């Protein structure tokens, strides 16, 4: 998931099945004979997670100029599904890397044709539960892991494992600042399922030497991070607000990357799930209580007049910001079973377009 907390999704799925008469997820159609859609133009890839244990993850591509979308692209190009819970993407040197969480693998495909290269290794396995991928160099990348206690070091050129950075905690989101990588630690659940505690730390990795050099305390369950114009890292923490006994309110923290210290800047009522920065790095966007809100880092306050609410019956799930135009893309997972929708807004909150994607649209990547 945007933050695919697998056990929470499983609980939600059970709740949905117990309350509704046999809902059926939208499958990838094996009879679809439409030719693969080349994505040579500029646009945005949308990775649709699919339903946990249904292996119906899929890939979409949206062209904002023509206002057209093509769905099920990986399947059409390779005559095979992506797998179980597609989590994130990376795009480097004309290759698209697709991290598939519950299938425990990473695909490497041509970013234009989306075909797997059968003459070279195109799939990397042997993770515990891969989440995010960050490229340090063409032959070196880090991969976070929801179950493993550290970061995998992989060689994307030959798709091989070449090391592991032990952090002692599960790893999640990754953002770079200079030669350091900031890594969020989300939950203790997969280390100790009986634990009632949650991680409240962000760790700092020296990417030159592959070692942890610092650990910064923030709020409980940091779920996303963004870097501002001052190269400070902002961390949105869920707070485990659903837990009356062990929870706290969601909160927003600012990390001074020189001092490696954090200060709480804001506390929210309700739920806060996704954090992104605008292109100039002076404002932040977050999904708060099923609406997109804007936060000014100068005044340390929310804009009262900026409030993009989800449609009736909708569920804002993930978000990204186009680095050139500042347009805001927000995914709507709806009921987690039917195909979702992606909405595109201007930086002022005006809706520009929308399109249907696959089941649980989440990660987005601009090409």
Per-residue confidence (pLDDT) for residue 246, from 0 to 100: 72
CA 302 to chain CA mean position, Å:
23
Strand partners, 96: 91, 109
Taken in order 28, 34, 39, 42, the sign of the CA dihedral is: negative
pLDDT band for position 188 (cuts 50, 70, 90)? confident
Per-residue confidence (pLDDT) for residue 95, from 0 to 100: 96
| pLDDT over 80 (residue 3) | no
Q: Considering the chain, what is the average pLDDT of its residues? A: 89
Q: What is the mean pLDDT of the segment spanning 333-349? A: 97
In whole angstroms, give the CA distance from residue 286 to residue 344. 15
Give the DSSP H/E element, type plus range, for residue 321: strand 316-321
Centre a 10 Å sphere on the Cβ of residue 317 and count the other Cβ atoms it contains: 25
| pLDDT tens by residue, 119-169 | 899 999 999 999 999 999 999 999 999 999 999 999 999 999 999 999 999
| pLDDT over 80 (residue 112) | yes
Question: Rounded to two decimals, what is the model's pTM?
Answer: 0.90
Cβ–Cβ under 8 Å, residues 367 and 44: yes
Query: For residues 254, 218, 170 and 163, what is the CA-based torsion angle, rounded to 10 degrees?
Result: 50
| pLDDT over 60 (residue 31) | no
| pLDDT over 70 (residue 14) | no
The token pair at 214 is 């610092």
Per-residue confidence (pLDDT) for residue 134, from 0 to 100: 98
Q: What is the mean pLDDT of the segment spanning 235-243? A: 86
Q: What percent of the chain has pLDDT over 70?
A: 87
């Amino acid at each position: 998931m945007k933050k695919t907390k697998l056990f929470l999704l499983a609980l939600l799925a059970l709740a949905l099945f117990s309350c509704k008469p046999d809902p059926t997820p939208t499958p990838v159609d094996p009879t679809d004979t439409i030719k693969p859609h080349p994505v040579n133009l500029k646009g945005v890839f949308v990775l649709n997670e699919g339903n946990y244990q249904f292996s119906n993850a899929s890939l979409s591509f949206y062209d904002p100029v023509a206002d057209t979308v093509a769905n099920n692209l990986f399947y059409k190009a390779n005559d095979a599904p992506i797998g179980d819970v597609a989590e994130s993407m990376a795009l480097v040197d004309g290759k698209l890397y697709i991290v598939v969480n519950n299938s425990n693998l990473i695909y490497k495909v041509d970013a234009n044709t989306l075909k797997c290269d059968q003459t070279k290794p195109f799939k990397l396995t042997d993770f515990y539960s891969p989440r995010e991928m960050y490229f340090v160099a063409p032959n070196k990348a880090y991969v976070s892991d929801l179950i493993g206690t550290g970061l995998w070091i992989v060689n994307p050129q030959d798709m091989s494992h070449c090391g592991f950075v032990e952090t002692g905690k599960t790893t999640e989101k990754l953002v770079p600042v200079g030669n350091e990588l900031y890594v969020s630690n989300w939950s203790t659940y997969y280390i100790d399922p009986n634990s009632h505690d949650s991680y409240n730390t962000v760790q700092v990795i020296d990417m030159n030497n592959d070692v942890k050099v610092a650990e910064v305390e923030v709020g409980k369950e940091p779920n996303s991070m963004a870097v501002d114009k001052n190269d400070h890292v902002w961390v949105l923490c869920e707070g485990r607000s659903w837990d009356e006994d062990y929870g706290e309110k969601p909160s927003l923290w600012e990390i001074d990357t020189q001092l490696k210290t954090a200060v709480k800047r804001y506390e929210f009522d309700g739920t806060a799930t996704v954090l992104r920065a605008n292109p100039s790095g002076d404002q932040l966007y977050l999904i708060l209580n099923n609406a997109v809100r804007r936060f000014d880092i100068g005044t340390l306050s929310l804009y009262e007049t900026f409030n993009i609410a989800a449609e009736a019956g909708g569920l804002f799930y993930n978000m990204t910001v186009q680095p050139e135009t500042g347009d805001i893309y927000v995914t709507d997972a709806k009921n987690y079973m039917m195909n979702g929708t992606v909405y595109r807004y201007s930086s002022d909150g005006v809706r520009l377009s929308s399109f249907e994607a696959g089941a649980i649209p989440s990660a987005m990547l601009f090409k």
